[in-house]
Amino acid sequence: MSLTRLFAVAKKELLQILRDTRSLGIVVIMPITLMLLFGYGVNLDLKKIPIYVYDQDGSQQSQDLLKRFQASEYFDVVRAVNNNSDIARALDSGEAHMGVVIPWDFSQRLGRGGPVNVQAVVDATDNNTANVLIGYTQAVVQGYSSDVQLDWLQAHGQSIQPVPVSVQTRTWYNEDLESSAFIVPGVLALVMSVIGAFLTSLTIAREWERGSMEQLISTPVTAMEIMVGKLAPYFVLGILDVAVCVVLAVGWFHVPFRGSYITLAVCSALFLVVVLSLGFFISVITKNQLAASQVALIITFLPAFLLSGFLFAIEQMPIALQWITRIFPARYYVSILKKIFLKGTPVAMLSADLLPLALFTVILALVATRSFHKRLE
């Protein structure tokens, strides 16, 4: 392999990228755009959920309960109404996601020490939000119920028995329970899929469509030199985009980074070789830029978005789909990213994800090498 010829091919491809404003926009603008969109636009943290309240009792006890909802960071008491119809209209219009109704005999039943029910009407069009709302509501009501029970026991001179079993939670790795902490690192997989597979899928197809492949074939440049020379600029650009994404994640979104930058660079390089090889292979077999871009989008970007664990937990998918995710390299790269960023997992404990990713690297690099031949077909 001649380094002179290799650098010549790489220089030609780099000039092509610089002249193509669309490709340059994807390389420069898309990583930043994706980071900002997913960092700000995709927020799974349910806080300040708008609710309506209907206090039929109007007593001090009922107001104390409503103050619990007002003090919670998860609820935003938008309005207090005087009938159930207003709550129904608010849920229909989307002004509120839940309505809390306190019965008229709330304080009387509490005074007698009897049980009393509080109604929560939840908009369940989004079942995940509804389940979270129900859990938050139960936590607020149970906390209030425990305080009322303690006050009642003290007022009647009865001893307070300690709770036999209690739960003390400790959150590790994402102490503030912020969704951006696990969403933003996964954006690197999307960026690599776009930069790697999508752009490189156009390299050989572009040469065939423009008729310049015949000129390349007539030169002494070997097939390996063409492949490596064309992929080298995208590899460098991909590594630079990784650096940009890491700076944005850590510096702008304050995502904790507890691992090794060297480990991240090595794993990113492996995944980048995978998507570059896959994009090159797609470009060789399609010989058409439109078809190549569509195939690359379906094979890389969509699985990286839907089946990698980036947004949706793989453990919650059907068993058959969990096995299907194993054939997509993005699954292992996303897992590595989260472990490096949030856990600081050392290399020795990344073998479950690193070995399959390395295997994909070898296989796809060989497939890409074998697929391209320096001849007219």
Taking the C-alpha atoms of residue 244 and residue 237, their distance in angstroms, rounded to an integer, is 10
Q: Is residue 377 part of a domain?
A: no
Instruction: Say if 66 falls within a structural domain.
Output: yes
Reply yes or no on whether the pLDDT at 162 is more than 70.
Answer: no
pLDDT tens digits along 62-78: 899 899 999 888 899 99
Tens of pLDDT, residue by residue over 135-152, are 889 888 888 888 777 776
Share the mean pLDDT of the chain.
84
Structural domain includes residue 168 = no
Per-residue pLDDT tens digits for 243-298 = 999 999 999 988 999 999 999 999 999 999 999 888 888 888 887 777 887 888 88
Residue 144 pLDDT: 85
163 within a domain of the structure (yes/no): no
Number of domains present in the structure of the chain: 2
Q: Is residue 107 part of a domain?
A: yes
Domain boundary among 108, 140, 155: 155
Q: Which domain holds residue 112?
A: 49-155
Whether residues 38 and 70 fall in one domain: no
- Does residue 237 lie in a domain region? yes
Upper half-sphere CA count for residue 94 (Cβ side, 13 Å): 2
pLDDT at 319: 92
Q: Does residue 217 sit in the same domain as residue 329?
A: yes
Question: Does 146 share its domain with 218?
Answer: no
Q: Tokens 């209690």 map to which residue? A: 166
The single residue listed with the structure tokens 């190549």 is: 292
Residues 121 and 263 in one domain: no
Q: What pairs with residue 79 in β-bridges?
A: 52
Assess whether 33 and 142 both reside in one domain.
no
What integer pLDDT is reported at residue 164 of this predicted model?
64
Write the CATH number for 129: 3.40.1710.10
Tell me the C-alpha distance between 296 and 201, whole Å: 7
23 and 71 in a single domain? The answer is: no
- Helix (H) or strand (E) holding 50, with range, is strand 49-55
Does one domain contain both 237 and 88?
no
Per the domain annotation, does 300 fall within a domain?
yes
CA angle at 291 for the pair 290 and 293, rounded to the nearest 5°? 65
